[in-house]
Chains A and B, each alone.
Chain A
């Protein structure tokens, strides 16, 4: 597999905090152009740490991470974070209106940009004037996604984004991400809900004890090449998302 086909490469990555190893010699690759890659594993296995390495919210103690062939340590972290956007587990709307939130992310964005970001996050209608701190969990999470999208990232990192949402809100969120994938967005999705990953992801990387523990094929398979270091081949398994 050449560099053009790989989104992220993790090369013997170790992350140690206060004497505890969050990742311990993690080596794997995340393929490019397959839509959603899931990260699965038990609590505390290092899923979120792995995700945070992708936009340099975390740095490895040893080892290296490549983004499309470039060592992340050599890239400007602020520019990287605008290319690799992130939505966190807990919705974190900033004080002010939805418009204020979107402009915080991209102060130069025009009205069309703001409306496009909202549409891409499945927020139809007039949302810009609403108080961002007075929304339901699902709405707040989609506003946070719109806020990330207004920076026009190529890659979206999702860290358990639906863990606090009800079933209807989860469905809306999954559909919005599916539409982004159809537009060409690369997504890495961390979830403790294995059924969800099987539903939305093309491939699922399993992590256990901070180490790579194999690859699984999800329902949303788009490619045919192998992923990870010991991955099985994957095939298209139909579109069950909608």
Chain B
């Protein structure tokens, strides 16, 4: 098998969605409609993206189309961050900035030093993995920092009242938020290959690439993700810390997520 999936094969795999729906019916979970809708929606989205991707990254297509795709992905990710963390002021602009900076650094290393050839077929998926994997950490660090500063307002104000500048007064809380956002990715990186086989490697092996080559690509992707998660989280945390204080070093009023939904 070379990893190609026929339309018949795809239809057969839908039987697995049927299994999930049957379980829902059997256990009276009331989720069967949602399961079928989610599967249908995912399939349509993937087919549309696949068709659009084929247009964008087909050989001979100018690279500018791939860059436009990456830009749209970053903008969309910023909007997702805004919807996931509505209590964080200005989160969309900060998230877009964080993804953009991480993209410049990570893609600069990968393509600038020739680790991967700069082509549409490499640029788009690599940027997708970068943004997709950084999203969780970006939202997590933003929400955690707002939560820390809001819940420990007394402590933060005690620091400010001692004459500490807001940047210094916020440092312990920025560190706590960064640790909580980056630690899961470090754990994932440590467990790679032992506990689970990552998506890129699995996909390559299924597509018939020799496992040794798949491992090298996966290692590059893991390092890319680790670097991007750390970069986006730190840009978000430092940018947000500046935004949550006034220019005369007062902590702004911070709403709870329930207040802004």
Chain A positions within 8 Å of B, measured between CB atoms, are 17-18, 55-59, 77-79, 81-82, 85-86, 88, 90, 92, 94-95, 104-105, 144, 147-148, 151
Contact = CB atoms under 8 A, between A and B. Distances in A.
A79 B154 contact: no
A58 B158 CA distance: 13
Interface string B163-183: 111000000100000000000
Contacts of B253: 17-18
Given A59-B250, A94-B155, 20 more contacts: A55-B161, A56-B248, A57-B157, A57-B161, A57-B250, A58-B250, A77-B249, A78-B163, A79-B163, A82-B163, A85-B161, A88-B157, A88-B158, A88-B161, A92-B155, A94-B172, A95-B172, A104-B159, A144-B158, A148-B162
B251 to A, nearest CB: 9
B160 interface: yes
Contact of B250 (A18, A56, A85, A104): A56
24 contacts: A17-B253, A57-B157, A57-B160, A59-B248, A77-B249, A78-B163, A78-B164, A78-B249, A81-B162, A82-B163, A85-B161, A86-B161, A88-B157, A90-B154, A92-B155, A92-B158, A94-B158, A94-B159, A104-B164, A105-B162, A148-B161, A148-B162, A151-B162, A151-B163
Given A88-B154, A90-B154, A92-B154, A82 B250 contact: no
B248 A81 contact: no
A15 to B, nearest CB: 13
A59 B248 CA distance: 10
A88 B161 CA distance: 10
Contacts of B172: 94-95
A78 B162 CA distance: 8
Interface string B123-165: 0000000000000000000000000000000110111111111
A55 B172 CA distance: 23
Nearest to B168: A104
A77 B161 contact: no
A77 B162 contact: no
B248 A77 contact: yes
Nearest to A80: B163
Contacts of B164: 78, 104
Contacts of B154: 88, 90, 92
B245 to A, nearest CB: 11
A59 B158 CA distance: 17
A86 B161 CA distance: 6
A105 B159 CA distance: 8
7 nearest A-B residue pairs (beta carbon):
A82-B163, A86-B161, A92-B158, A81-B163, A105-B162, A77-B248, A78-B163
A77 B246 CA distance: 11
A113 to B, nearest CB: 14
Contacts of B248: 56, 59, 77
B146 to A, nearest CB: 18
B250 A81 contact: no
Nearest to A58: B250
Contacts of B157: 57, 88
B155 A81 contact: no
A55 B155 CA distance: 16
Nearest to B156: A92
Given A78-B249, A94-B155, A104 B162 contact: yes
A111 B54 CA distance: 70
Contacts of B249: 77-78
B25 to A, nearest CB: 49
Interface in B209-261: 248-250, 253
A85 B160 CA distance: 10
Contacts of B161: 55, 57, 81, 85-86, 88, 148
A173 B157 CA distance: 22
Nearest to A150: B162
B74 to A, nearest CB: 34
A237 to B, nearest CB: 32
A57 B246 CA distance: 11
B159 A81 contact: no
Which of B155, B158, B160 has most A Cβ within 10 Å? B158
Nearest to B161: A86
Interface string B48-84: 0000000000000000000000000000000000000
Contacts of A148: 161-162
Contacts of A86: 161
A105 B160 CA distance: 10
